[in-house]
Structure 1
Amino acid sequence: MSSTSSTVERAFAAALYADSDAALDTGASLLAADPASDAELARRGEEFVAAAWRRGWQPADVVRIVRRELDDVHERLAAELVLAEAARDRTARGPRWTAQLAELAEQAESNRSGRPDRLDRFQYATAALELYRLLLRLPTLEPLDAHASHASQTPRASEGSTVPRDTRMLTRIRALLAKAEATGFPEEAEALSAKAQELMARHSIDEALLAARTHAKDAPGACRIGVDPPYETAKAVLLDAVAGANRCRAVWNEALGFSTVVGFEPDLEAVELLHTSLLVQATAAMTKAEAAQRAGGRKRTKSFRQSFLAAYAHRIGDRLAEAAEGQVTATAGELLPVLAARDVAVTDETERMFPDTVTTRLRGVSDEAGWHEGAAAADRAQVNPRTRLQGP
């Protein structure tokens, strides 16, 4: 064993398997005193990242849990390790994995350009050991890689040939939702969101019919969406409602701060876009309602915000369920059996991945004003029923 490996091993033995600050200080002191150990320390960090991937974690999952449990410096270090390991990774990955890496690379570049004063050697070693403690203890997750090969590409007219998914439609949808969130004019937001909903519906229906007609081996995929504090339960309920309206299923992991959404790729894309947009609208509406409450002499309270978001999620769920039911009722021709088969496939895949689940109820909803304001905001939110499309 080389002297650098020996230093890292002794530091790990002292710090990684004990939770005390004294153990952490001992390990960090060993590393700080041996500059030659830096490369080995980084290499071992990349190994921890690779081990997390083997346990079902994806790049965004790793960085998200670090952000949730530790500090900014740990998040930056985790992103650097993820990108370094990705450069050596030779495993076939799906487009979601690639997109996560691209986003992390962009964020890392931004962090480098605006990074505060660099850490000294002891501070850096301490941060690395704290990060490695977390990575070492990550549990095993349901693997999503198996879904990537099915969901990443869809056969087109020429049997056996494949082309990348149509990203132009998704770009248009994202642009419409961004404008709907930014405008201060309700009528404009209504028109923009309605158009986005129409495009999402057509994109999903077209993909489903195309897969059926070409006998593509299309199968449900899955993705993880962060459910961040505060008020995680209300946010998870909102995500569940959005998922259900788009023929997907959502399973919330409260302890790790994310929901796994199972569905066919076009519907997963719709869930991600619509959920993000509704959260933005909910936050803006809650801020406005809270300002009005304070103007009337009421203090800002946690119970108001909790009740507001709970009511918002509840009411949005009702509206989305009505929209989804109306769309199914309006379908005809070859479309209805195609969607029915997909519903069965999504349910079966969800039960395979998560054979044991429990129902979570909203708790801590006690503010009447917050509930009424949240319900009213949900009624104003730009969630129109999908355009009623007929099968050809």
Structure 2
Amino acid sequence: MEQVEKAISAAVYAEGDAGLDLGASLIAAAPWSAAGREILRRGEELVRRAWERGWQPADVVRLVRRDLDDRHVRLTTDLIAAENRRYARTAPRWEAQLRELEAARPWWHDDERYADALAARERTDRFSLATAHLELFRLLVRLPAIEPVGPPPGESPHVRPHAATPDEPRMLSRIRALLAKAEATDFPDEAEALTAKAQELMARHSIDAALLAAQGHTGDVPTACRIGVDAPYETAKAILLDAVAGANRCRAVWNSGFNFSTVVGFEPDLESVELLYTSLLVQGTAAMTRAEAAQRAGGRKRTKAFRQAFLTAYASRLGQRLSDATGHVTQETDGSLLPVLAARDLAVEDRTERMFPATTSTRVRGVSDHAGWEHGTAAADRASMGPRPGVTR
């Protein structure tokens, strides 16, 4: 449609914001149903281009949420759902992201009626909707290429999928249930016990997968996933994720510009990292809130410096404890399994180096709140992740 094409050219590809009003006016003045259909078509093209450049649904939505607003997020999920109609099958991680975003299928029934349905949902005028779409298009068209962590939908995977062990679904359900209870309790000792038990199950799960691969029953190779590392205090969160990844025989590479870390490892270990990082972050945030309340009750006002120090200490101390626990259980492992684990570590390292041949180190900014550091360290000690005696890895 010519008017929509002119609007996109004026608003999306031009420098500055001067073209936004012009573009939005052109779209608002066009036949509304036809304009809505054309906006969907152009949006699908931009989403498809993002997939080809290595982006995944959760990545795009995370960036839109950071740089724009809730309306743009809803429009993004609409475009993702519309584009997803092209594919008969997508990878399991991709499908999980679509379900979480509620973007597996369009909520509207006919593209001809999308514009009217959208206006009713958003309860706003055409000009405002057109402006929001053009702002979103401008963000999508400027997405750079990033390291892919899997094939885009519609393409065959280059590696064989992870072969599940017989009890894997039940094992993961038990791990999720334990971590959910640890997040919900207000008693630190109970949270520690629940989380430690979950770590035991993760260790056993990882060993089962390694043994199965060593026996030649699977074609397991390292893969990767991306995990959001959102502001505020993203440096501390990235440190925590790196600690969790290292303890589970994975590598994490943080992209501070786009608020995510890419975690490289074998599929069972990636699942453990996702579950454990999310749970520890929830537990750490809850512990920080309780610590702040205690500080205020004592008449001491705490600020951003307290929270920054708390989470940095929490992540740093957990990293030490996780590293110690991993070293301990590795020493107790049956000697015949050590070459298998070493080979898997080497494979993860090699995959990481090939994906990120030029990484850089960043210096963590100093913290200035001693009380925050002490409380964060204590919270990390209570969230101990070391497996109990008798668990091998």
Query: If the length of structure 2 is used for normalisation, what is the TM-score?
Result: 0.90
When residues 196 and 355 of structure 1 are mapped into structure 2, their CA distance, relative to the original with a 3 A threshold, is same
Q: Does 1:304 align with 2:306?
A: yes
* Structure 2 counterparts to residues 27-66 of structure 1, below 5 A: 27-34=23-30, 35=32, 36-66=34-64
When residues 177 and 382 of structure 1 are mapped into structure 2, their CA distance, relative to the original with a 3 A threshold, is farther
Partner residue, 1:250: 252
Among the aligned pairs, what percent are the same residue? 65
Count residues in correspondence: 376
Partner residue, 1:98: 95
SS in 2 for 1:42: helix
Q: 1:227 aligns with which of 208, 219, 229?
A: 229
Partner residue, 1:159: none
* Structure 2 counterparts to residues 2-17 of structure 1, below 5 A: 5-17=1-13
Give the letter for the 1:384 counterpart: G
SS in 2 for 1:168: helix
SS in 1 for 2:275: helix
Partner residue, 1:340: 342
Alpha-carbon distance in 2 for matches of 1:386, 1:260: 29
Alpha-carbon distance in 2 for matches of 1:151, 1:170: 21
SS in 1 for 2:4: helix
Partner residue, 1:271: 273
Partner residue, 1:134: 139
Residue 42 of structure 1, CA deviation: 1.0
Partner residue, 1:160: none
RMSD between superposed Cα atoms in Å: 2.3
Contact preservation (8 Å) 2:82, 2:106: no
Partner residue, 1:81: 79
Alpha-carbon distance in 2 for matches of 1:16, 1:264: 40
CA deviation digits over 1:24-67, x for unaligned, max 9?
11101100111122101111001100000000111111111111
Residue 334 of structure 1, CA deviation: 2.7
Structure 2, unaligned stretches of length 5 or more?
108-116
* Structure 2 counterparts to residues 130-279 of structure 1, below 5 A: 130-146=135-151, 150=159, 152-154=161-163, 166-279=168-281
Residue 387 of structure 1, CA deviation: 5.7
Alpha-carbon distance in 2 for matches of 1:82, 1:206: 36
Residue 168 of structure 1, CA deviation: 2.2
Q: 2:367 aligns with which of 350, 356, 365?
A: 365
SS in 1 for 2:102: helix
Alpha-carbon distance in 2 for matches of 1:37, 1:180: 50
SS in 1 for 2:94: helix
Q: 2:126 aligns with which of 121, 138, 149?
A: 121
* Structure 2 counterparts to residues 276-355 of structure 1, below 5 A: 276-355=278-357
Alpha-carbon distance in 2 for matches of 1:128, 1:99: 26
Residue 184 of structure 1, CA deviation: 2.2
Alpha-carbon distance in 2 for matches of 1:151, 1:175: 29
Residue 9 of structure 1, CA deviation: 1.2
Residue 188 of structure 1, CA deviation: 2.8
CA deviation digits over 1:107-158, x for unaligned, max 9?
9999x9xx975221111101100000000000101111259664633177xx
Residue 383 of structure 1, CA deviation: 1.7
Contact preservation (8 Å) 1:76, 1:108: no
Alpha-carbon distance in 2 for matches of 1:82, 1:129: 16
Alpha-carbon distance in 1 for matches of 2:336, 2:79: 49
Contact preservation (8 Å) 1:193, 1:384: no
Query: If the length of structure 1 is used for normalisation, what is the TM-score?
Result: 0.90
SS in 2 for 1:289: helix
Residue 190 of structure 1, CA deviation: 2.9
Alpha-carbon distance in 1 for matches of 2:187, 2:236: 27
Alpha-carbon distance in 1 for matches of 2:268, 2:143: 30
**Which stretch has the larger CA shift, 79-88 or 127-136?**
79-88
Structure 1 runs (4+) greater than 6 angstroms displaced? 106-110
